[in-house]
Amino acid sequence: MDALGWLIFLAALLVSVMLHETGHFVAAKRFGMKCTRYFVGFGPTLWSTWRGETEYGIKALPVGGFVKIVGMTSMDDVDPEDEERSFRRAPGWQRLIVLSAGSFMHFVLAAVLLFGLALTIGAESAGCTAAQSPAQQAGLRVGDQVTSFAGTPVSTWTQLSNAIVKVKPGVPVTLTVLRAGQSLTLHTALAEVPGHGAYLGIAPASATTTKLGTVSTCVPVNKRALEDGIVFERQNVLGAVEYVGTGFSQVITGSVSALGKLPAAVPSLFAKDRSSTAAGNVSSIYGAARETGQAVAAKVGWQNKVSFVLLLIASLNIFVGLFNMLPLLPMDGGHVAVVLWERIKAWFARLRRKPDPGMVDYRKLVPLSFGIFLVLVVFGTMLILADIVNPVNIG
């Protein structure tokens, strides 16, 4: 089962790469640019075929992919008959769309996964356990309606969940509930579920509504979910859309925070207390694949497994989409920055009634691009080594 998890992750990674390159490819074709190659992987070619003017193929190392668009930079040699269809001759707005299309496909894939997860398996609700949950210790009963948590008024499960995560496990907390038309004040302390954080232990009376309504002792998907102590609440279309928005917001916020802490993370990658440092918030492709394998092999219900894997893949795609758009060469965001700089220079030239200064000389950017690429390779290698010899459980 662990090996199956690795295969699932690698297949998902390959699909993500293909979609990324397909985004560039389709956008370039749409604007009439000439694309001569579309390959998945790097290294020696295992298989290829020509369709029209484009060679499609698979290479030996499935760790990426590429699309060859004629005339991507001022350095590229282009046949005179192909110059008009080259990338560099296209209007600036078309080039920006082509460059951004790869990250756009990552975001689309993540949104589809999150939306489908919310509609089918559902989002994890407040949760429950068979016995001795904080909610039971507080005296909550089936039919109670929670109106306030830790002094915060709540009227939906989302509001209640947001209020719960703000309270640390073990800290005394007060709940206000309506029972038979009377308002009662109950007291408890949240528990902690490893990998899930603060835990109260209640679920909605109906798993198909986002309205808080009345409390049920447990509305698990099945007996296995009850044993795992997790409830999945299926969402309607609007709820699924909200779930996608929440997922993107959380991943983006976490990614920005993790990227900001990268300099501080490097010295702690191989520390014994890595999980409690900034290095505990970053993981490599190897680490993500290992976590997928462990999730698939874990003795939990299939809903938990599928939910974990889909959330991990969706989060990874959001992160990659964001990281790829950073204004650093050789990533797509670096090329976007170059195009924007060219357009800004052209605009100033028009204001001064001077000719368009033309494209940026990429030969001057090669040392910068190579330096950034080298830093990424070194850090990526260190992160993989750290995940092998000093792994961190990401949940």
Across 22-45, b (16+ Cβ under 10 Å) vs e yields bbbbebbbebebbbeebbbbeeee
As a whole number, mean pLDDT of residues 214-227 equals: 38
The C-alpha atoms of residue 183 and residue 48 are separated, in whole angstroms, by 71
- SS3 call for 9: helix
Per-residue tokens: 363: 């030969």
What is the pairing mode between strands 54-69 and 145-149?
Answer: unpaired
The pLDDT-based confidence of 193 (bands split at 50, 70, 90) is: low
14-18, 104-108, 270-274, range with the lowest pLDDT: 270-274
Residue 67 reports pLDDT greater than 80: yes
Residue 239 reports pLDDT greater than 50: yes
Question: What's the total number of domains in the chain?
Answer: 1
Q: Is residue 3 part of a domain?
A: no
Q: Tokens 């800290």 identify what position?
A: 171
The C-alpha atoms of residue 361 and residue 355 are separated, in whole angstroms, by 17
Q: Is residue 142 part of a domain?
A: yes
Express each pLDDT in 45-62 by its tens digit. 999 999 999 999 999 987
Q: Is residue 370 part of a domain?
A: no
Q: Is residue 358 part of a domain?
A: no
**Can you give the CATH number for the domain in which 164 is found?**
2.30.42.10
Q: Is residue 221 part of a domain?
A: yes
Strand partners, 56: 38, 49
pLDDT given for residue 195 in this prediction: 55
* Integer Rg of the chain from CA: 26
Sort residue 270 into left (φ over 0), alpha (ψ -120 to 50) or beta.
alpha
pTM of the prediction?
0.74
As a whole number, mean pLDDT of residues 104-112 equals: 97
Q: Tell me whether the omega of the peptide bond preceding residue 357 falls within 30 degrees of 0, making it cis.
A: no
Q: Is residue 331 part of a domain?
A: no
Express each pLDDT in 350-369 by its tens digit. 999 999 898 899 999 999 99
Angle formed by the axes of helices 92-119 and 2-30, nearest 10°: 140
Chain-centroid distance, C-alpha 75: 34
The C-alpha atoms of residue 127 and residue 231 are separated, in whole angstroms, by 5
Q: Is residue 32 part of a domain?
A: no
Domain extent, residue 164, equals: 123-233
Q: Say if residues 200 and 138 touch (Cβ distance below 8 Å).
A: no
pLDDT given for residue 257 in this prediction: 82
Q: Is residue 223 part of a domain?
A: yes
Residue 221 reports pLDDT greater than 60: no
Amino acid sitting at position 107: F
Q: Say if residues 3 and 293 touch (Cβ distance below 8 Å).
A: yes
Residue from 86, 76, 98, 95 nearest 24 by CA: 98
pLDDT given for residue 25 in this prediction: 97
pLDDT given for residue 201 in this prediction: 75
